[in-house]
Amino acid sequence: MTSPGKDPVENNASADTAPTAQHEDSGSALVGAALIADYVKDLPGKPGVYRMYDRDQNVLYVGKAKHLKKRVSNYARPAGNPLRIRRMIAATTSMEFIITGSETEALLLEANLIKKLKPRYNILLRDDKSFPYILMRKDHPAAQLKKHRGARNIKGDYYGPFASAGAVNQTLDTLQRAFRLRTCSDSIYDARTRPCMLHQIKRCAAPCTGEISLEDYKKLNDEATAFLQGKTKELREKMTASMTEASAALEFEKAGEIRDRLRAMARVAGHGDGINPETFADADIAAIYMAGGQSCVQVFFFRAGHNWGNHAFFPRHTKEQSAEDILDAFLGQFYGNKPIPKNVFVNVDLPNRELLVEALSERSGRKIEINRPQRGEKKTLLDRAVKNAQEALERKMAETAGQTKLLEGLRKAFDLEAAPKRIEVYDNSHIQGTNATAAFIVAGKDGFMKREYRTFNIKDANTKPGDDYAMMREIMRRRFGRLMKEDTNKRKGKWPDLLLIDGGKGQLSAVTDALTEVGAMDKVAVVAIAKGPDRNAGRETFFMPGRADFTLPPRTPELYYLQRLRDEAHRFAIGTHRGKRKKQMITNPLDAIPNIGPARKRALLASFGSAKAIKSASVEEIAKTEGVSHALAMKIHGYFNDG
């Protein structure tokens, strides 16, 4: 059994994997090496995963072992470990163990736990984004080509991953030119009565209006599928022969269309600066570069002989850890939720290569190879990836150095005890009180932390529409009341070191009142930023509790940085507000009536033209609509007319 209060963790190991009993000495005064030595007495000599916790039940480390007893016993002798590990051992107050059926299962489970729990002392893959794919939908008579991100639960073929949405959009654009497959939604497809603009500019064959038969459209779909599967040479030869035949038959328009499609195919095939491989089809190249105690892993994606772009990752680790260990841990976590190609090429020798190969093969259901090329095309591409990793790391280090200097400047400007590591910036957005939204952004030494951005819907019924002060009080109570509650429950929340508010004395007073109410006033520094006269940027006034209002010297980096933070918060808040307003504008009152599905909704709107007209209609008039019974007509009439 696991510790009480722990959330169950998703486990990719086999069904016979079972956790061991936790050590029953929760009241013991033992800590550190003495505690671990006490655990070792009862551990089996089997493969498994272990977790180490501090006194606040934060996970310090997750590890795997082929032989749990031998591996964990190393921690009972701190003297033989690096300083980082000795600190971890000293902070350990409890441990948990899970026995697995094999070391491979332990590796898979370890990677899952690290990604979920983010332990302090583990090498951690940060920015574990989901990559976009191209989806060829097969659940419609006319296949749809579209960009897809997220769970792959739509019937069809997925191609990728692509390194960015821009790479997908560029490829989709050229695929439209080459194969003229539709990209519109099913609802638009069903509603078309004449070809759209995409057909006019020769980017869609327009099966929606019968400009091409479904049989001929399927041929285009088959050609696109062959191209995306890497059968480029055969497809080009076939199309070139067709172009020659059309030209010989004096069908110059048809020959010109095929020529244009071949050119578009060449654009797709040439994507990625001309570094499409000739000696392999499917592979990822993962190259690591280290400098100054930091590292960058550059991953290039190759699928069906095409280069689908690259992405840079910056794993979290200590300065003492080697490139080999970092890349080894990175790959285990990276492929936890992504399709695994047949080949993975790396630039260092992985300490657990054979185990990782076995684990990835088990996860993908086919043989996976991890190799370090020494010559030829693969080595050339690997060297290019290393160069990209080096350049990306150097850029990041330069940006971090500049960011560190800015944060130190804020420390001096606002008389803080230390340079802020986490800054939260709050702003409100509404139009005369409607669709009121509040939001905050987060910034730190690595720049904007967009995954930490959050929005708030105003819930308090006592908040008057358009009352900015009341809105700010509400979100402060909710945000910091929750943080205080998490601290009370020993679940350490993400506290900001600096709280920036877009506003003046009134906003500052509202914030300090709310923070005082929840008991958080002494836990965070608060600064309000008011624009200068005539809302002139560069002449901002700053307000802090217990300090006279002040300004910063114009044209200083710190002032520009604060302006960027405020403008980013404003952009995010107003973008959220506009999205909410747009959703409200396109929401139809009919959506809230039970038993009104898309077909009946279309029939009603076709008959009356608008929801407003339906509201004015009688029960008898509504009942004349196809598919609407008299009983349903009464419900519709009652909904619009208070029953």
Run of H or E residues at 48: strand 48-53
> Does residue 11 sit in helix, strand or coil?
coil
**CATH number for position 385:** 3.30.420.340
Residue 624 scores a pLDDT above 80: yes
CA distance 643 to 638: 4
Which whole number is the average pLDDT over 521-542? 80
Q: Which of 566, 584, 602 is a domain's end point?
A: 584
Question: What's the pLDDT score for residue 503?
Answer: 86
Residues 22, 96: one domain? yes
Residues 249, 325: one domain? no
Asked if the structure places residue 252 within a domain, the reply is yes
| 11: Cα within 13 Å, side-chain hemisphere | 19
Asked if the structure places residue 7 within a domain, the reply is no
pLDDT classification of 21: cutoffs 50, 70, 90: very low
> Does residue 466 sit in helix, strand or coil?
coil
- pLDDT per residue as tens digits for the range 139-186: 888 988 888 887 778 888 888 788 878 778 878 887 888 888 898 888
Asked if the structure places residue 3 within a domain, the reply is no
- pLDDT per residue as tens digits for the range 52-88: 999 888 899 999 999 999 999 999 988 878 888 999 9
pTM to 2 decimals? 0.70
**CATH number for position 52:** 3.40.1440.10
Question: What's the pLDDT score for residue 275?
Answer: 59
Asked if the structure places residue 597 within a domain, the reply is yes
Domain count, the chain: 5
Residue 511 scores a pLDDT above 90: yes
Residue 430 scores a pLDDT above 80: no
Residues 377, 315: one domain? yes
Residues 449, 364: one domain? no
% the chain with pLDDT above 70:
88
Residue 331 scores a pLDDT above 90: yes
Q: How far is CA 115 from CA 296, 331, 594, 603, in A?
A: 18, 12, 42, 49
In terms of Cβ atoms closer than 10 Å to its own Cβ (0-12, 13-18, 19+), residue 365 is: exposed
Asked if the structure places residue 414 within a domain, the reply is no
Task: Please report where in the chains the tokens 């309000």 appear, as a residue.
Answer: 528
Residues 324, 472: one domain? no
pLDDT classification of 640: cutoffs 50, 70, 90: confident
Asked if the structure places residue 446 within a domain, the reply is yes
Residues 381, 525: one domain? no
Question: What's the pLDDT score for residue 588?
Answer: 66
pLDDT classification of 16: cutoffs 50, 70, 90: very low
Residues 505, 461: one domain? yes
Question: What's the pLDDT score for residue 517?
Answer: 93
Lowest mean pLDDT among 38-42, 123-127, 337-341, 609-613: 609-613
Residues 441, 551: one domain? yes
Question: What's the pLDDT score for residue 387?
Answer: 94
- Other C-beta atoms closer than 10 Å to the C-beta of 181 total 24
Lowest mean pLDDT among 71-75, 139-143, 240-244, 535-539: 535-539
Q: Which of 219, 246, 269 is a domain's end point?
A: 269
Question: What's the pLDDT score for residue 479?
Answer: 92
Q: Which domain holds residue 624?
A: 589-640
Asked if the structure places residue 278 within a domain, the reply is no
Q: Please give the residue that has the higher pLDDT: either 533 or 333.
A: 333
Residue 483, amino acid: L
Residue 304 scores a pLDDT above 90: no
Residue 238, amino acid: K
Which whole number is the average pLDDT over 319-334? 92
Asked if the structure places residue 633 within a domain, the reply is yes
Residues 545, 632: one domain? no
Which whole number is the average pLDDT over 248-257? 78
Residues 484, 523: one domain? yes
Residues 537, 626: one domain? no
Residue 584 scores a pLDDT above 70: no
In terms of Cβ atoms closer than 10 Å to its own Cβ (0-12, 13-18, 19+), residue 477 is: middle
**Residue of 534, 524, 532, 522 lying closest to 562 (CA atoms):** 532
Residues 461, 511: one domain? yes
CA distance 112 to 268: 36
Q: Which of 61, 88, 117 is a domain's end point?
A: 117
- pLDDT per residue as tens digits for the range 260-301: 777 767 665 554 444 567 788 889 999 999 988 899 999 999
Q: Report the range out of 101-110, 261-270, 424-433, 600-609 with the highest average pLDDT.
A: 101-110
Q: Which two tokens mark 450?
A: 């967009």
Backbone angles phi, psi at 388, to 5 degrees: -65, -40
Question: What's the pLDDT score for residue 271?
Answer: 47
CA distance 316 to 124: 5
Beta strand 343-346 with 369-371: parallel, antiparallel or unpaired? parallel
- pLDDT per residue as tens digits for the range 179-189: 888 988 888 88
Q: What is the mean pLDDT of the chain?
A: 83
